[in-house]
Amino acid sequence: MKGPLLKITNLSKRYDGNKIALKNITLEIQPKEFVVIIGPSGAGKSTLIRCLNQLVKPSEGEIIFDGEDISKAKGKKLRQLRGKIGMIFQHYNLISRTNVLKNVLNGKLGSVPFWVSTFGLYSQEDRLQAYNLLKTVGLQDSLYQQAKDLSGGQMQRVGICRALMQEPSLILADEPIASLDPKSSEVVMDYLKKVTEERDLTCIVNLHQVEVAKKYATRIIGVREGEIVFDGTSEELSEDIIKNIYHLPEKKQEVILPVPGFVAEGEAVYE
């Protein structure tokens, strides 16, 4: 593909008509990039990722994905574009009382008639594809286990397979390791990086952990208060820049005056 996979121009998001979560974001993402978005809580990372597939409706701006404006797409067109974007969630979003194989096959939902999924009539080819994906992430022995019986790390590996089942060109991962311990986080990130590289996919991941971002990203975007304040490589992300991304404007120190006659709990009163 020639040109960027994503071209975001003047993207803004205002929640409830007033809370500004994104301010005029302009950004291009090239095919095969592994982009990690970092920034403090409330910076707008999730909003940015979710605007890309219209899980959150942008207030202003344009998002050209694969040559088409996804920000204005509706109905069939939107479903078709979303079909090319796999999504991975912090809380996995698996069907807990359904087995691993069926959860992965659900990735096909957008591209098969409803009765195929309702009655579990997936083709042999689809089943084989799901099995091969699960094998890639080391879960070939858990096909018939219910999702609820898996560990968090295993659930997220199923989440990765479900996203890949769509055969997307873009993967969006919204805090994929925020609920995992460091070891499982590493396993999940290793697999995510491996499967996206092997398939030449573009990946955009939101992360809280700067060290993890530096280890995996080909490009890091720092967001602060709805704006991009850094865009560069892991090597370029210096300590000072990290401080700047995570630094919030200093709040005015509130002076708390003692209330006459008030005695705090546990406080001794000396006459």
Ligand X SMILES: Nc1ncnc2c1ncn2[C@@H]1O[C@H](COP(=O)(O)OP(=O)(O)OP(=O)(O)O)[C@@H](O)[C@H]1O
Q: Report how far residue 246's alpha carbon sits from residue 38's, in angstroms, rounded to the nearest whole number.
A: 9
Question: CB under 6 A: which stretch of 39-47, 115-123, 234-242, 263-271 binds ligand X?
Answer: 39-47
Structure-block tokens of residue 162 = 């479900």
Among 8, 29, 35, 44, binds ligand X (CB under 6 A): 44
- Quote the least distance from Cβ 203 to ligand X, whole Å: 17
CB count, 10 Å around CB of 119? 8
DSSP string, 196-229: HHHTT-EEEEE-S-HHHHHHH-SEEEEEETTEEE
Task: Label residue 21 exposed, middle or buried (CB < 10 Å: 0-12, 13-18, 19+).
Answer: buried
43 touches ligand X by CB under 6 A: yes
From candidates 11, 33, 39, 88, binder to ligand X by CB under 6 A: 39
Which residue's CB is nearer to ligand X, number 22 or number 189?
Answer: 22
The upper half-sphere exposure of residue 207, i.e. CA atoms within 13 Å in the direction of its Cβ, equals 24
Structural contact between residues 110 and 167, judged by C-beta atoms closer than 8 angstroms: no
Shortest Cβ distance from residue 65 to ligand X (Å)?
19
Interatomic CA distance for residues 223 and 210, integer angstroms: 12
The answer to the question of residue 16 lying near ligand X (CB under 6 A) is yes
Pairing assessment for the beta strands 219-224 and 34-38 based on DSSP bridges: parallel
Q: How far is the CB of 15 from ligand X (least distance, A)?
A: 3
Out of 5, 6, 8, 21, the only residue in the binding site for ligand X (CB under 6 A) is 21
| Residue 15 touches ligand X, criterion: CB under 6 A | yes
Region from 45-53, 65-73, 138-146, 209-217 binding ligand X, contact rule CB under 6 A:
45-53
Does residue 58 bind ligand X (CB under 6 A)? no
Our finding on whether 46 is near ligand X (CB under 6 A) is yes
Residues that bind ligand X (CB under 6 A): 15-16, 19, 21, 39, 41-47
